[in-house]
Amino acid sequence: MNPQKMQPKHASSSTTATTSSLTDIPTRLESLLRPRLRLLEDGGSLDPEQNLGKAGLDSLATIELLVEIEETFETTIPDEEIDENTFNSLSTIARLVERSLPAAA
Amino acid sequence: MSGTPAASLRFSVENVVSPGAGAAVGEIAEIAEFLAAFSRDGELPDASEAERKPELWARRLGVWWERNPFARESEPLGLILRGPEGEIAGFHGLIPQDYVRGAEVLPGLIATTFFVRESARHAALGLVMRVKRLGQTHHLVDGTPSEEVLAIWERLGLQRAPAGTQHYRFRLGLRPFSLRRLMLAPAALLTGSKPASSPSHVIVDPAKIVSVPTPPDAKLRKRVTPDGLAWMLASAARPLYFCGAVDSNGSLRAYFLAEEKRKLGLRFARILECASFDENGSALQQLVDFAATEPAACGLPADTDAVVWTLLNPEHRPQWRLRSSWSTNQYFLPPPSGSEGAETGKVSQPSESDSLFV
């Protein structure tokens, strides 16, 4: 196995944007998540620790979400970082994204 | 083969890479045993008796990888999902197949055999994302996705190949009067039974090809090589026929690969892939017309009643009047949008699938 390093796809172009948007991660993630949470009431609040499975995030939506996260944040989430707990809650995903961005390197 | 079983209490994804001496034998045996056990344990619906035995899978893996001329050392051959104890919990097979866009050669992978244990489904996301990453460097094709796998491919952005058309040309042949001949007469009259002119040099062995020209356009399509054609002919699970037209220097002008089908007591030759290396496709049209009227001269069974030409991208529509629509379950991931020539389109073929080999 050849572990991938956590690194952005375009490090030079994304560094500035990433630094300024680190604090936005939860907000931006929430906008990606909401359409996939079938069981969350319209307009209802999303607690950062809320279990996303119980809110309606299924496995296929998780694939779609992961693809969108990588595109939105211009990063690559290493395969070995992905496990059954990764998508437990907004906060677990946010921590994963933060770790993958260059500011965390 | 490479990869170290996971030591932690986590699942991990490994690439299966090109066979390297003795290590490959062990890993192929391990994968074959996993696939057989998966079938035996009822996780593969409608598994055949043969699929419950590792011998069949070892043979298939050999066809996909060991005898495949596109399986170069650098090519990924599959992905393994390993469980916490290092056991195989999932497998996704990949059959290397080169593609071309004009003179540019692009590596491709035909997807096959996506098996993940029910108990490990929660850990399959890493496997799926590894496939997505391969799509950044390879052209990915799946001709036989299950419903579950298709749902995943759609989320990864794979596109369905266009629906095609099947064109039929019947022939009466020289057999004595019979009910069969009576049945064929209207179809032969309708689709044209007049003899076609013979291409100058017809070959039925790809080893006779001296050179393969660059395709006349920049569309993405399967790469044609004598080795690749020979591998398909030798590896197909059912009889497959090659017929080509070459010029006096042995340069390929057109070819087709066909399989035999029987229906209503009639014998069909169904074209699974073909190409013409001239601008207007006339070399291929002439070759297929000739095969439909003189099948034995093209290596097809002499009593072939009809040629069925399935075209997914009808660049050169044959002038055969009997036709029907044909839909495919073939999906592919287009090359990355940023790459040069990504918008030139693709010529899909029914043969882009693992179904020939199983």
Task: Work out the average pLDDT over A86-94.
Answer: 93
pLDDT for the residue numbered B6: 35
Q: Rounded to two decimals, what is the model's pTM? A: 0.84
Average pLDDT, chain B: 86
- pLDDT confidence bin for A93, thresholds 50/70/90: very high
Does residue B218 carry a pLDDT above 70? yes
CA distances from B67 to A28, B109, B270, B285 (A): 49, 15, 25, 32
pLDDT for the residue numbered B109: 95
Q: Which of A83-87, B153-157, B158-162 has the lowest mean pLDDT?
A: A83-87
Strand partners of residue B112: B93
Q: How far is CA B168 from the centre of its chain?
A: 21
pLDDT for the residue numbered B318: 78
Chain A residues touching residue B132 (CB < 8 angstroms): 67
Task: Work out the average pLDDT over B335-347.
Answer: 65
CB A37 within 8 A of CB A46: yes
- The conformation of residue A102, written as its DSSP 8-state character, comes to G
Count of pairs with CB atoms under 8 A, one residue in A, one in B: 51
pLDDT for the residue numbered B3: 42
Mutate to test the interface with B, among A2, A6, A63 (most CBs of B within 10 A): A63
Nearest to B129 among A1, A60, A82 (CB): A82
Does residue B249 carry a pLDDT above 90? yes
Rg of chain B in Å (alpha carbons): 22
How large is the ipTM? 0.70
- CA dist B6 and B320 (Å) reads 58
Instruction: Chain A: give the shortest CA distance to residue B98, in Å.
Output: 24
Enumerate residues 6+ apart whose C-beta is below 8 A from B155.
A60, A63, A64, A67
CA distances from B189 to B154, B167, B186, B296 (A): 44, 15, 5, 21
pLDDT tens track for B261-289: 998 888 999 999 999 999 888 899 999 99
Does residue B235 carry a pLDDT above 50? yes
Cβ–Cβ below 8 Å for B11 and A62: no
- pLDDT confidence bin for A12, thresholds 50/70/90: very low
Chain A residues touching residue B133 (CB < 8 angstroms): 76
Task: Work out the average pLDDT over B28-34.
Answer: 94
Does residue B186 carry a pLDDT above 70? no
